[in-house]
A and B are shown apart, each in its own frame.
Chain A
Amino acid sequence: MKAFLLFENEDFESVKKFPPQGQTLIHDLALNVLFSAMAAGDDFIFKVVNEVLLSGIYNNTETIIYRQQILNDCLNHPQMIREMYRIANEAILSKNKHWWALSSSPSSILYSSINTLRELLIYLQQLRNIADNHYVCIHSKCFTRFFAMLQQELNDEFFNKANEHLTQLEFRNGVMFSTQLSTSNRASYYQLCKLNTHKKGWLQWFRNREKKEYVFNIHPRDESGIRALRELTEEGVLGVSNALAQSVEHIISFFQMLKTETAFYVGCLNLSEQLQILDEPMTFPIPLDYSERTHTFKDLYDICLALTLKQKVIGNDLQAENKVLFIITGANQGGKSTFLRSIGIAQLMMQSGMFVPALYFSANVCDALFTHFRRQEDLTMQSGKLDEELNRMNKIVDQLTPNAMILFNESFAATTTGKDRKYAVRW
């Protein structure tokens, strides 16, 4: 069972990859401000949004649209996605409550697994209820498919069956194994048999069983006999204890996957709520293909600045088609850097499937994003500065692709021209 909340046909965890210049981007674009706002104090969400945004640079327009639809459903039903995140989180924690007795014996593993599974079934039921309640009101391809799957896989029959197994495995009516003689006239392996758990049915089986049988009792004071019997039973339930423990792990891993993938959307919800308080606009961007060269936006503002200042900030407009190089000049403290950052952040947000901080935003996707900002700390060592900047530039060029975006901020200010230059370059 997969949720596919981030990619249409793949788990985020199994395909995620990060750009090598990720840490530079976080630093230059002050992305931690954005991540913190999205996390709203939840470290796990912080980690996930960090990963989703940085790896977003590799997304194509289809993935972006796929996520936009999901996010749209989430924005319309914020409680739905928050519930899913809570369920996944609590389900994962439930394992720790019962898992202390592990590694001792098959029967204790079985016991822990039964208790954990009982609790996990409750969370699965809650998940199924969400699917039932929201199935009609969601529109995204993803949720339609995911909820349909939950309804089908987590149907009443599944819950009945699962509960029946758990009752059966408590062995209230004793336990039955089938086996075969092997070397040394000992049992080859014990295979667990299903007993009829309904009282009536079981009695019937017990009465009707073949009369040909051999019965013996172990004396209650026969300690070695009791130990031997316990060992035999332990061996008999070894297989099923393994099966059940692994089932617990499977369900936990399912919830882990769900937690990761819902965390991103919960982060988006957290952000949108804060922007609403600041009365800042946000919009779903229109992503264009790699081959296009378009950059058109209205009232694009630096979201990190707004979040830091906790107030509305000035936005900018631009309409550019078939342009590859932009040069920004002007007075100091005039907002040039802010403008540059807002472009980079918006690109990352768009590519990870989020809304962007603008009234309108449309741009082509790119397959790499680089920043080449001035390093304040290097100012004191004038002689080495150019060297340091060229070194960074060299590394960028190594990784450069035809559809990459580079943001230069006062690069090479130390050269002889002495003039400040700012530019955003696009190939």
Chain B
Amino acid sequence: MRTEFFSILFTPRWQVKVLNEKMPDFFPDLHLDQVIETITSKKTEYNLKPFFYTFPIDLETIRYRQQVMKDLENPALFKQVELFVQGMQSVRKQLIQVEKINYPYHKERMFLDVVILYCETISAFANALMRLSLNAEGLIAFSRYLTDYIQSAYFTTLFTEAKSIIQELLSIKYNLYIKDLRIHVLPSQSEADYTLEVLNTFAKFQQGKVKDYKNVFTRSSQISHVEAKILEGLATLNPHIFNRLIDYYAKNSQFLDRTITTFEHEIHFYLSYLEFIDHIKRSGLQFCYPLLSDTKEIEVKEGFDIALAHKGVEEKTTIVTNNFCLKGNERLLVVTGPNQGGKTTFARMFGQMHYLAGIGCPVPGVKAQLFLCNHIFTHFEKKEDIQNLRSKLEDDLVRLHRLLQQCSSGDIVILNEILTSATLHDSIFLSKKIMEKIIDLDVIGVWVTFIDELASYSEKTVSMAATIFPENPALRTYKIVRMPANGLAYALSIAEKYQLTYSMLKKRIGTKV
């Protein structure tokens, strides 16, 4: 009885077996579309995106994935898994090649090579998994499955039979006699190498080293139909072994094990993500495995925007990390502060971390306690769209309305500079209405705004603000910290930088008049 093994991405208890083929609509707002694009770009053949799109998943599966991810952070295991997937990739590529071969006996022979590669790859991987210490439930189960598989009668026959046929084929010796356009295929007669005899006759004249004339010829990589015909001749001379070859192919054409190929496919979810964050980790930034729960108290230490970090590594810029938390009744982080101060990045980070944690991945930061949410609703400023014939304000309101209708207590809301096209007065009025609704829904989230009043709306809101360097107010720290909103000060500081404060302007213009 073979061990049953279902999936390395989902626990055996996981019931929803449908993957989400469509990108979640909040991906572009959170820049997760770029991140997933980069992660999967090297492995497009595997169609990995649905793995990253399938959200939400249950807590048990998240833990299941986190364990696998943690195990794979062991370089020794990672290396073995890579060898395994490379081997399997070659197997699949070569199988496609074999399918294209039309010459009998050649096709079947090439098929044997693929089977051998498959068997060797799997045996090596099974042995490696047995040797390495594994902690992940999924990997332990797969290791057990593989061990059983390579010990199964099917596998051992598949492997030994292939080797034995190859051995027998390799021992076939034969002669070719060619005269004009006629080719005789003959059984081998023991003949001495005539070339040696020729060489020996003239060897006495040798004075020193001479040129090698063998490099004028290289055999073409493709078999010709003449060679194929010779092979047919050999088959008639050695019917027994060639029949064995044909039978083997007919019997074993479906030799790939579904569970193993599924594993090989799914494991790329982990490999590609780990490769991606490894690249960021090397610049000194840290990732951690988040604790997830359905309580709305969250805490993150030194989180950062993963998309920005990826770009930062490429461009060698330093990435600023931020801390945040929601305690007790706190639900909404209201972020205010100067333009270009890192508010939007902060909002994205908040969303990214919850999403990545929600699909079982390690998240940016040294420590993370996050909320297990059902959905993430984002509202980022969009460019005016002439197609929908609505004004910007109207469009904003339509979108917000839809958002608030769909949103429920188990979700996350991220609002970024909404209603900017309204007058300040209207904007404050509308924002307060929306705030009321959000507080009512009891969702958690981030609201980036220029309206300071929102920051202190109720005890459920937490005011955070982007900070500046006191000595040079125009320079941004990109640090977002808990503090009361005092946005005007920042606007002033920018104005001062360009000598555009009221008094300065007056002075400057006054001297000209």
Binding site for B on A (CB under 8 A): 1-2, 11, 102-106, 109, 153, 158, 161-162, 165, 168-169, 173-187, 190-194, 209-210, 212-220, 224-229, 231-236, 238-247, 249-251, 253-254, 256-257
Contacts and interface: CB of A to CB of B under 8 A. Distances in A.
12 contacts: A11-B207, A174-B179, A176-B175, A178-B174, A178-B176, A181-B170, A181-B234, A214-B184, A228-B227, A231-B224, A250-B202, A250-B207
Contact of B213 (A158, A191, A242): A242
Given A209-B186, A249-B211, A234 B181 contact: no
B472 interface: no
Interface string B200-241: 011111111011111011011001111101111110110000
Contacts of B227: 186-187, 228, 232
A158 B201 contact: yes
B201 A253 contact: no
A213 B186 contact: yes
A247 B196 CA distance: 12
A165 B198 contact: yes
Interface stretch (B16-24, B72-80, B102-110, B426-434): B102-110
Contact of A240 (B180, B198, B211, B212): B198
B195 A214 contact: no
Contact of B223 (A104, A106, A184, A234): A184
A355 to B, nearest CB: 30
Contacts of B169: 181, 185
* Chain B interface extent, by class: 35 or more
Interface in B229-269: 229-234, 236-237
A244 B198 contact: yes
Nearest to A243: B199
A253 B207 contact: yes
> Most chain-B Cβ atoms within 10 A of its Cβ — which of A1, A165, A181, A224?
A181
B93 interface: no
A216 B183 contact: yes
Contacts of B176: 176-179, 190, 232, 236
A202 to B, nearest CB: 11
B188 interface: yes
B202 A180 contact: no
Given A178-B189, A193-B191, A234-B217, A225 B225 contact: yes
A311 B368 CA distance: 112
Nearest to B229: A216
A246 B196 CA distance: 12
Contacts of B282: none
A215 to B, nearest CB: 5
B194 interface: yes
A187 B170 CA distance: 10
A211 to B, nearest CB: 10
Contacts of B389: none
A246 B211 contact: yes
Contacts of A190: 176
A240 B195 contact: yes
> Most chain-B Cβ atoms within 10 A of its Cβ — which of A162, A173, A225, A242?
A242
B170 A220 contact: no
Contacts of A247: 198-199, 201-203, 205
